[in-house]
Structure 1
């Protein structure tokens, strides 16, 4: 019985699969944090860019943050 536990302990010390899984988990979590920070920082800029392009496609209109029908931003006629 003692030799069984001794062999088991030896195998567990040599087995690196658990450590590799933890390393991959840490890498995935760090990548997720970087993506969340990038989306948070660039979100407003991307929204404004898409709104401007969308208004341009509508035919000579420009995006205004206070314009639009409800006053919350939208496309208005170009000056």
Structure 2
């Protein structure tokens, strides 16, 4: 049992993908905080369009 716990703690497989996901989420939050207020023109409108397309194309699992 102790060996299984030790292997689980030391296993780093998949950690990189999770870390990249966290970084991407944080970057998206920052972009929305900075540019998301003006959704009628400029970068805010572009980001709104992109995220609207993502929202409509991603289906929940």
TM-score of the pair, normalised by structure 1: 0.39
Give the number of the structure whose alpha-carbon radius of gyration is greater.
1
Structure whose residues are more often helix by fraction:
2
TM-score of the pair, normalised by structure 2: 0.48
Structure whose residues are more often strand by fraction:
1
